[in-house]
Each structure stands twice: as structure tokens, then as C-alpha cells.
Amino acid sequence: MVRGGYRTAEAVRMTPPLRGRAVARRRRWDVPGLVAALFLGPALVILAAVVAYPIVATVWYSFFNADGTRFVGLDNYVEMFTGPATRRAILNNVIWVVVAPTAVTALGLLFAVLSERIRLAAAFKTVLFMPMAISFLAAGVTFTLVYEADKDRGALNAAIASVHDLFKPPSKYYGTSPREEAGLATVDGAVQTAAPAATSTPVLLPMVGLPPDRIPAGAAAAAPGVAGTGLRGVVWLDFSPGGGGRPGAVDAGEHGLPGMVVDAVRDGKVLATTRTDPAGRFDFPQLTGGGYTIRLAASNFTPPFNGVTWLGGSVVTPAIIAAYIWIWAGFAMVLISAGLAAIPRDALEAARVDGATEWQVFRRVTVPLVRPVLVVVLVTLVINVLKIFDLVYVLAPDPVTQDRANVVALQMYQTAFARQDGGLGSALAVLLFVLVLPAMLYNVRRLRGDRDR
């Protein structure tokens, strides 16, 4: 049994039993053509009718209009590269091909190296490989729960919210705003007086928009402000429960907003800072004269993290690619693990004896030795990613998001079946086909080399 539990070697090349003896002098024998035909017949008939003929037919259809009645030359191909929807799909496919295979291979390599150094490697590999058993559809359902935009329901947003609020806790007055007629302005999240404040009377800073359940427990009834000669005023919730209050005036039953950070600013410089008392009052006795701006600092209004709309807007493609990485990383890891296991231990030990650090060993010995495997993983994933369909279809179901996240394979399906345009749909299929042609030729060439061994 190989390390990590999987006999992956066989997966890479299904090594038949007793291979060695057979290789050198194998020769096949002549049989009547009829026998060969009987063995091959069913497979060839089905392949010819359901796979080979349609390839030719699809190329043919791609030169015709939507319902196949009129020859249009290259019009479908021109439209494919100029139409906004198809161009978006092609560009997204480029993003997919550049990002996804590289990320999956890099993570696969990292996890393979990690799993070489731990006990329970088999369990680790099982956990990472498990998503390969799940359909793109089920994975899509799984990730709609992860990506839910509401932070109370989406796991990812909830996780980000808890970290975010740990480092940047929301302030108790988030969501409040100045009463509109009060001559206050909101600048960069801070609330300030629009006109210079005078010291003759207390400055009134009426606020609205704080739900009753968020009024601080220590808040007292709002008071019109301390007596004195300095710069002073009151910040309060200008809302009388039960009604009857005058807008912009301190009324009975209205609450002061304690603990509000208040800056006194003149000529762009903060001259003093204080906090409001339980009745919402603040006082700068040392500041007299005029020309001050009273500013309630932005830190009073820091909102909590509200959740990212992952499956919409500009992050939708990266989000879907992340789900793809989750599905395929285990695949890359298992293949690369097989490659790592085949590296001669002496090569690594020799490098270590020569004083190489672990990073140098990894960079200079391990990676070059597993490079052939990395190439295979990468090429395999590129082919797979070119054909990506289900995951985008499921994670971006509504038309607007789907247009934004579109890829060629999905656009082909929508064009040919939802919009019944067989011509353009065929052209998109031909584009996919042309893109996998290099892989096809590579496969056939490899086969030549392997023949009759």
C-alpha cells in the first residue's frame, strides 16, 4: 500500500498484471474480418452516428442562420466575436482558463506536500477528494448556502463579519443621521455643522434613525445644554415616542445620546475632543469666540459588516471559480501525491545533506521532479475548465447575473436551446471544439509513441 492510502499509481497508468513479460515480444494474430467486425461493430455504429456525424453536422450548421434555412457564411463567427453576450462569455472563459487550473494545481501541490508530512494523510486526502464525488449541481446548491449575501444566513459572510467586527467593532450609533432641516452635513461618514457655530447659545445637533432597542441604557432625558461661555451643545435623538415633538428642538421625553465623540474644528484643525454626557451634552469651556465647526467623528457611526453579494456584481466569476477550486483541488492533490511518492528519497536527502533549506529542496529538487505531473494536471484542468457549464448555470441562475458570469459552454446551450439559434449555437460549439483540438492532437501523438509496447 502506498503512502496516503491510494494506489494512485494505477490510476495514472492502469498497470496490467505481469506487464513486463508481455511487452517485448507481443504480436497479434490474424482473424477473419468478420470476427473483428462483430467485436467492434456496436461501438463503431454508435460512435459514427451519435458522435462523429454530429461533429461534421455542427460545423456545417455553423454556416447557416438560426433555423438552418439560409447559408450565411461566416456571419455567426463574426457575431460570436462581436456580440456583447458572446464576447462576455469568451472573456470569462479566458479568465477561467488563466486562473482556475493554475490555482487548483498550486493548491494541489501545496496540499500534496503537506499531506506527505502528516499522520492521518489518508483521512486528509479523503476529505479533500470527496467533492469529486458530488455533482456540480449539488456543489452549486452547497455553495449557494456558503455565498448567501445575508450575513445571518451565508456562512462566508458570517465568518467575515465575525472577523471584521472583531477588529472594527460597529459603533452604537451606526445608521443614525442628522435631522434634515437642522443645518448639519455628513462629510466622509462624520456629521458636522454646515455653518460655523457660535458660542452664544448651545449648538443643537438633532439626530434621527436610531431604533428604540439601540438607545444606550445609560441615556438620560436630553437637556438643552450646559450654561457657560465656551463652545457647547447637545446631541440627542430628536424623536418623541408617542409624537408631539418639534423637529430640531429638545422636547420632553427625548433621549440624549451619551458617549458621542465630538470634535471642535477650526481651519481644518481639530482643536479639542470630548464626549457627550448621559443627557447628550458636551462642553468646551476653553473655546470661546466663533468660527468653529462641531463635528461628530465618523467613528461614532462605524457600520457593522453587512455581507458581500458574492453571486452578483463583479465578484461572481471569482466566487464561482472558488467553488470550482474547492471541487477539483483534491484531484490535483492526489495526482501530484503520486508524483511526489515516486521521487527518489536519496535525491531529497542528498540536497539536505548538502545544506539546502527545506524551501530550496522544494524549489530546486521537488518541483522539477514532479513537473511532468504538474503539466498533466494543468492540461487536464484546462480542458475541463473550457467546458465548464453546470457550476455557472447553477450558481448564477438569474438572467442578469448569468450574463455577467457567462461562459462559452453555457452561452452555447442558451443560444441553441433557449433562444433556438442553431447557427450561432453551432459556431460557439465549434469554438469550444477548436480550443480542445490541441489536446486532442497531443493525445493522439502520445498514443503513437505508446503503440505496441
Partner 1 sequence: MSFMSTVRVPTLEPAGTAVTGPPRRSLLTRFVTRVGGGLLYAIVVIVALIWLLPTIGLLVASLRPASASAATGWWHVFTKPGELTLANYARILDNGDMIDGLWNSVLITVPSTVLVVAIAAPAAYALAWLDFRGRDPLFAVVVALIVVPIQMAIIPDAKLFGALGIFGSLTGVVVFHVAFGLPFAVFLLRNFFIGIPRDLLEAARMDGGTEYMIFTRVVLPIGWPAIASLTIFQFMFVWNDLLVAKVFAGASSKPITYVLQEQMGTFSSNVDVIAPGAFLSMLLPLIVFFAFQRYFVQGVLAGSVK
SS3 assignment, position 233: strand
SS3 assignment, position 418: helix
What is the Cα Rg of the chain in Å?
34
Residue 195 engages partner 1 in binding (rule: CB under 8 A) = no
| One residue of 91, 98, 130, 187 binding partner 1 per CB under 8 A | 130
DSSP H helical ranges for 387-421: 390-395, 399-405, 408-413
**Interaction with partner 1 in 232-261: which residues (CB under 8 A)?**
none
Q: Tell me which H or E stretch contains 267.
A: none
**Interaction with partner 1 in 98-127: which residues (CB under 8 A)?**
111, 114-115, 117-118, 124, 126-127
| One residue of 112, 146, 222, 260 binding partner 1 per CB under 8 A | 146
What would the x/- binding string for partner 1 be over residues 397 to 436, using CB under 8 A?
Answer: x-----------x--xx--xx----x--xx-xxx-xx--x
DSSP for 52-118 reads IHHHHHHHHHTTB-TTS-SB-TTHHHHHHHHSHHHHHHHHHHHHHHHHHHHHHHHHHHHHHHHHHTS
Name the minimum Å distance from CB 299 to partner 1.
29
Residue 90's alpha-carbon distances to 73, 203, 316, in angstroms, are 21, 60, 16
Name the minimum Å distance from CB 106 to partner 1.
13
**Interaction with partner 1 in 64-83: which residues (CB under 8 A)?**
none
Residue corresponding to grid cell 462624520: 190
What would the x/- binding string for partner 1 be over residues 25 to 54, using CB under 8 A?
Answer: xxxxxxx-x-xx-xxx-xxx-xx-xxxxxx
**Interaction with partner 1 in 148-177: which residues (CB under 8 A)?**
148, 152-155, 158
How far, in Å, CA of 174 to CA of 171, rounded?
Answer: 6
**Interaction with partner 1 in 205-234: which residues (CB under 8 A)?**
none
> Which region among 165-173, 216-224, 268-276, 388-396 touches partner 1 (by CB under 8 A)?
388-396
> Which region among 12-20, 171-179, 223-231, 254-262 touches partner 1 (by CB under 8 A)?
12-20
**Interaction with partner 1 in 310-339: which residues (CB under 8 A)?**
326, 329-331, 334-335, 338-339
Residue 269 engages partner 1 in binding (rule: CB under 8 A) = no
Q: Between residues 286 and 420, which has the closer beta carbon with respect to partner 1?
A: 420
Name the minimum Å distance from CB 82 to partner 1.
21
Q: In what order do the strands lie in the sheet with 190-193?
A: 184-187, 190-193, 293-296, 261-266, 269-275
Q: Tell me which H or E stretch contains 239.
A: none
